[in-house]
């Protein structure tokens, strides 16, 4: 399993508009490609020197092939839409992560490997 992570720093002047767009348009469009099984939107709790508000969107995919197909057929168009709307008020970088193992603990402190 892989995580395609997009971290974006958003200028405060467009923060609400960007957040609404991400939730209502962008994330559903990325999921609609059929290449990802889940998306998680998080706010980064570290203040950046440059200011702004930082978010991370983590998209999970089952295979490297799905991620490569997303890059080949969808990524450019979906990225350019955000750039057209928010131009220099948004700075984004992308990271790929491969999940090796997942672990959890239950409320009764029983540890398990998923």
pLDDT at 7: 95
Backbone angles phi, psi at 36, to 5 degrees: -125, 150
Q: Output the CA torsion 96→31→38→42 (10° steps).
A: 70
Q: Which residues, at least 6 apart from 47, have a Cβ–Cβ distance to it below 8 Å? A: none
pTM of the shown model: 0.87
19-41 burial code (b ≥16 CB/10 A, e <16): eebbeeebbeebeebebbeebee
Q: Which two tokens stand for residue 112?
A: 């398990």
pLDDT score, position 87: 86
d(CA 23, CA 93) in angstroms, rounded, equals: 18
What confidence score (pLDDT) does residue 109 get? 67
pLDDT score of 54: 95
| Residues 110, 62 contacting (CB under 8 angstroms) | no
Q: Give yes or no for residue 114 having a pLDDT over 80.
A: no
1 close to 99: Cβ distance less than 8 angstroms: yes
Sorted by where each begins, the domain ranges of the chain are: 2-113
Chain segment 15-72, per-residue pLDDT in tens: 999 999 999 999 999 999 999 999 999 999 987 777 899 999 999 999 999 999 999 9
Give the model's confidence band at 100: pLDDT under 50 very low, under 70 low, under 90 confident, else very high.
Answer: very high
Q: Could you say which of 3.30.70.330, 3.90.600.10, 3.30.70.100, 3.30.230.70 is the CATH number of the domain covering 2-113?
A: 3.30.70.100
Structure confidence at residue 106 (pLDDT): 74
pLDDT value at residue 111: 64
């Amino acid at each position: 399993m892989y995580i395609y992570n997009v971290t974006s720093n958003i200028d405060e002047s467009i923060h609400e508009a960007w957040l609404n767009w991400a939730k209502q348009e962008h994330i559903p469009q990325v999921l609609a490609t059929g290449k990802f099984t889940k998306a998680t939107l998080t706010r980064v709790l570290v203040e950046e020197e440059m200011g702004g508000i930082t978010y991370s969107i983590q998209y999970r995919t089952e295979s490297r092939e799905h991620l490569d197909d997303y890059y080949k057929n969808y990524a450019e168009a979906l990225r350019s839409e955000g750039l057209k709307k928010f131009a220099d008020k948004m700075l984004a970088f992308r990271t790929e992560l491969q999940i090796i193992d997942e672990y959890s603990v239950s409320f009764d402190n029983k540890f398990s490997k998923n």
